[in-house]
Amino acid sequence: MRIAIAAIGRMKNGPERELVARYLERATGSGKPLALTGFDVTEINESRAGSAAARKAEEARALRAALPEGITVMLDERGKGLNSENFAAQLARWRDDGRPAVGFVIGGADGIDPDYVRSADLTVSFSPMVWPHQLVRIMLAEQLYRATTILSGHPYHRGD
């Protein structure tokens, strides 16, 4: 099953981009034997539309176009909180159900178009706090790597 990330905003070269790349590279390596592939990021420029609603609608169209057919997961502070084991188990269920891909959506400064959020298969929150897209991308990349280690029985994850 292919894992894809579509994010509004571009990360500058630096430690944040390097950290995302490092976690996704690790996820790629440990995901391959688990039939989890891809782990690629598509960066989409922020909309320059005049209103927040128009920006969110324009960004939603671009995000949809950037993701493969399959499951859509929104990252939003109003989403469901999952622990790492449940996150990994959900990825495994989708894989085992024969889903071709899971696309993760990281919105821009205005958030994600509400209609797009409602159309998602799952909306996940890393916290009720709002985080900048760069940090969300780092946290998602780490959790994807962690999920592959949980599913493979690797000792990286030392939960309860």
Annotated binding site: 75, 107, 126-131
Backbone angles phi, psi at 67, to 5 degrees: -100, 150
**For position 133, what pLDDT does the model report?**
85
User: Domain for residue 82, yes or no?
Assistant: yes
Task: Count how many domains the chain has.
Answer: 1
User: Domain for residue 157, yes or no?
Assistant: no
**For position 159, what pLDDT does the model report?**
60
**What CATH number corresponds to the domain at position 104?**
3.40.1280.10
Backbone angles phi, psi at 97, to 5 degrees: -80, 0
**pLDDT means over runs of 10, the chain (160 residues):** 97 94 97 97 95 96 96 95 96 98 95 96 93 92 97 74
- Please name the residues in contact with 138: beta carbons below 8 A apart, sequence gap of 6 or more: 16, 19, 20, 23
User: Domain for residue 158, yes or no?
Assistant: no
Chain segment 33-77, per-residue pLDDT in tens:
999 999 999 999 999 999 999 999 999 999 999 999 999 999 999
- Please name the residues in contact with 160: beta carbons below 8 A apart, sequence gap of 6 or more: none
The boundaries of the domain holding residue 27 are 2-152
**For position 154, what pLDDT does the model report?**
75
End-to-end CA distance of the chain: 28
**For position 30, what pLDDT does the model report?**
96
Annotated binding site for S-adenosyl-L-methionine: 75, 107, 126-131
User: Domain for residue 71, yes or no?
Assistant: yes
Alpha-carbon span 6 to 15, nearest angstrom: 20
**For position 90, what pLDDT does the model report?**
98
